Amino acid sequence: MRNFFIVFLFSLASSLLLCLFAFIPTILKYAFSLGAFLTGLKFFSTYDSWKMRGSYLASSIVLFFIWIMLYTVFAFAYDWPLPEGVVPEEQGAAAY
């Protein structure tokens, strides 16, 4: 049970940092990328088991997509700004 919480907390931290890296367009995004890299480096240097490392990678990817999906749902519901690269619905893809 202890290993589950360790993997969950590390993957939660790295997925949040990667989500912030994907959404923030300023130079600050590279600080979040470095934080995610250092989080992964700390986890991989601490745990040598392939099961722990694989579960960390898989849960980080799954949590990253969950954070992306949650932000997108809330952004459409509350008219928050969407990240760069999203085509507005009024113009359509033909405008680009």
pLDDT band at 89 (very low <50, low <70, confident <90, very high): low
In one letter, which amino acid is 13? A
What is the number of other CB atoms lying within 10 angstroms of the CB of residue 10? 21
To the nearest 10 degrees (0 to 180), the angle between helices 29-46 and 50-78 is 150
Domain of residue 30 covers: 2-82
pLDDT of residue 59: 97
Considering the domain boundaries, does residue 93 fall inside one? no
**Domain presence at residue 9:** yes
> Domain for residue 91, yes or no?
no
| pLDDT bucket at 80, cuts 50 / 70 / 90 | confident
pLDDT digits (tens, 9 = 90+) for 27-49: 999 999 999 999 999 999 999 99
Structural domain count of the chain: 1
Residue 91, pLDDT score: 54
Domain membership flag for residue 95: no
